[in-house]
Amino acid sequence: MAVLALSALLALGACAGGQEARRGVVEPAAPAAPADPIAAFAASARPGAESRIVLANGQSASVRMLRSYNAASGRECREVLVGTGSTQRTQLVCQAEAGGWVAARPLLRGGVAGRP
């Protein structure tokens, strides 16, 4: 009888130790939202999506996702139209190695070429 009680205590101790070990496991954190408002928009938008955002300088601007494509580097890139009327400009945002989105410069002068 004492052997059974001792076996039961050891089994319970092993279970509790397993729970303690699981509590010490650190889950990977979700990627932080991009600090750049254009990158934040591009991270979740689909081609054709439009929104109004507040830029880093405090001014508001209209944004429209033009297209998404895989660059020769293998990264996913997204072209965003920022502004309206004569103040429009395109901004290229590409996925970084760490999983976030960062502003990128186009390979050709004058913006992104080959837009459908």
> Are the C-beta atoms of 63 and 53 separated by less than 8 Å?
yes
- What pLDDT score was predicted for residue 77? 95
* Residue range 58-97, pLDDT digits in tens: 999 999 999 999 998 899 999 999 998 888 999 999 999 8
First to last CA, the chain: 81
- What pLDDT score was predicted for residue 3? 47
Cα angle vertex 16, ends 14, 19, to 5°? 110
* Residue range 19-54, pLDDT digits in tens: 444 455 555 444 445 589 999 999 999 999 999 999
- What pLDDT score was predicted for residue 108? 66
**How are strands ordered across the β-sheet holding 89-95?**
50-54, 60-70, 76-82, 89-95, 101-104
Please say if the pLDDT value at position 102 is more than 80: yes
SS3 assignment, position 53: strand
- What pLDDT score was predicted for residue 98? 85
- H/E segment holding residue 58: none
